[in-house]
A and B are shown apart, each in its own frame.
Chain A
Amino acid sequence: MGYQWNWSIFGSPVPTGETTYLAWLLSGLQTTIVLSLSAWLVALALGSLVGVLRTAPSKALSGLAAAYVEIFRNTPLLVQLFSWYFVLPEILPFGLGDAFKQQLSPLTQQFLAAMLCLAFFTSARVAEQVRAGIGALPRGQKAAGLALGFTLPQTYRHVLLPMAFRLIVPPLTSEFLNIFKNSAVCSTIGLLELAAQGRQLVDYTAQPYESFIAVTLLYLAINVVVMGLMRIVEARTRVPGYLGGK
């Protein structure tokens, strides 16, 4: 349809002249990776906590944890993101919201909102996996831990969780992949991650195909690298005697 391909566009300088369009893409890639990794660490910690609480003997605690999971799983990621970015700073009490809006640079605000959003969104999914992992263990494990004189927290720490985590590595892999993909949603609040840089390139260069192809290839590359890494982790943590075990 008469489209003029121009792959040299990536080497051309941006309007301000200080870098190239390729550097824009790579800085977007860097933001995507930093954002996703930091959100993943928070999600793992939060998700493990909530997942453990889901299995707690106290009805109040497990009910609270269940409500947490339902809220984050039953609202769209975009609504959650906008709530973190537009709603929370307005309604936070004690001047916290104002501090967020006035003392942090716009870039930090976007990054923090995006990071917390991805972290909480993913933590609900991690929590479900942790709960499933604990639930998949034979009941005797918990009883045996308690019979040996461990307290309940000790039983979780030394008996249940080490096994449960090894069992849920494969489903966690797909959640880990998802967090990279979900991070693309954060372009909607103006965070210049990979997808946003791709759109910016389209606006500046009017070469949409080259830009989108490059961004898509970079997402595919992230996917391949993460899958490769997780395959190694999966191989090392596999439990002998279980399905998929050695």
Chain B
Amino acid sequence: MYEFDWSSIPGALPFLWEGMKVSLGITACAVLFGIAWGTLLAMARLSALKPLAWLAAGYVNLFRAIPLVMVLLWFFLIVPQVLRGFFNLDPNTDVRLASALVGFALFEAAYYSEIIRAGIQSVPKGQISAASALGMSYAQAMRLVVLPQAFRNMVPLLLTQAIVLFQDTSLVYVSALADFFGAAYKVGDRDGRLVELLLFAGAVYFLICFAASQAVRHYQKKLNAHVAH
């Protein structure tokens, strides 16, 4: 029978916390940028300008068809060269974090744009007509009438996607970047306690994601009750 030995975890907590900050940082960055860029993509896809709509659709479909691992490998290949080309960086500068940030942000934007597009489409057409009748331009109608309603309905989906994203940040493992999972793996590997560290990492991810998804569910219920009245 396997003898568990959890003694390497307490001493490693500061290191693990450093990793958790990387995971949370990548998540926050990708959520913010993903929603901003995703909104633009969604509006482009719904735009009356056909070429613009096609470009946006091509972007979204391309990113949604490729595995995240592959996208990250691409960005770990391209971003360092681009950064070094533009900023004359020392070739030894560690740009893995920057590569991960760019990769996740551009990748998540494709998923966010689909959520946001559905949200915009769920707003009744009459709202745009009413806004135009009031003399608003299309941009004003979008910004002041459609998007605020769309976003309120979308918040639970956007948050759920953020939880998925938080779990996916563990894939920066392919670049040996020490996020929370990478840190746990390193400690486990160093101490020969991989079993304990992996179980610990799993438990931590579970607690965070479970609590967050329960909170989203609660919020969704409140939102539904609010809309029903």
Q: B-contacting residues of A (Cβ < 8 Å)? A: 1, 70-71, 73-80, 82-83, 86-87, 90-91, 93, 97, 177, 180-185, 187-188, 195, 198-199, 208-209, 212, 215-216, 219-220, 223
State whether B195 touches A90 (Cβ < 8 A): yes
State whether B205 touches A79 (Cβ < 8 A): yes
Residue among A73, A74, A181, A188 making CB contact with B66, cutoff 8 Å = A181
State whether A212 touches B195 (Cβ < 8 A): no
Cα separation A191 to B141 with both chains bound (whole Å): 52
Can you identify 27 A-B contacts, CB atoms within 8 angstroms? A1-B81, A74-B167, A74-B206, A74-B209, A76-B170, A76-B171, A76-B181, A76-B205, A77-B167, A77-B168, A77-B170, A79-B170, A83-B199, A87-B198, A90-B195, A180-B67, A181-B68, A184-B69, A187-B69, A187-B174, A188-B173, A195-B73, A199-B73, A212-B73, A215-B70, A216-B66, A219-B66
Cα separation A77 to B68 with both chains bound (whole Å): 12
State whether B69 touches A86 (Cβ < 8 A): no
A88 to B: closest C-beta gap in Å: 9
Q: A-contacting residues of B (Cβ < 8 Å)? A: 1-2, 62, 65-70, 73-74, 77, 81, 85, 163, 167-168, 170-171, 173-174, 181, 185, 194-195, 198-199, 201-202, 205-206, 209-210, 213
Residue among B67, B171, B195 making CB contact with A219, cutoff 8 Å = B67
A-B contact count (CB 8 A): 102
Residue among B2, B62, B181 making CB contact with A90, cutoff 8 Å = B2
A54 to B: closest C-beta gap in Å: 15
Please report whether the interface of chain B is mostly helix, strand, loop or mixed according to DSSP: helix
State whether A74 touches B210 (Cβ < 8 A): yes
Q: Report chain B residues within 8 Å CB of A180.
A: 67
Given contacts A1-B81, A74-B206, contact A91 B168 (CB under 8 A): no
Which residue on A lies nearest to B213, using beta carbons? A74
A36 to B: closest C-beta gap in Å: 11
B180 to A: closest C-beta gap in Å: 10
Q: Report chain A residues within 8 Å CB of B202.
A: 75, 79-80, 83
Which residue on A lies nearest to B188, using beta carbons? A86
A153 to B: closest C-beta gap in Å: 30
B11 to A: closest C-beta gap in Å: 21
State whether B181 touches A79 (Cβ < 8 A): yes
State whether A216 touches B70 (Cβ < 8 A): yes
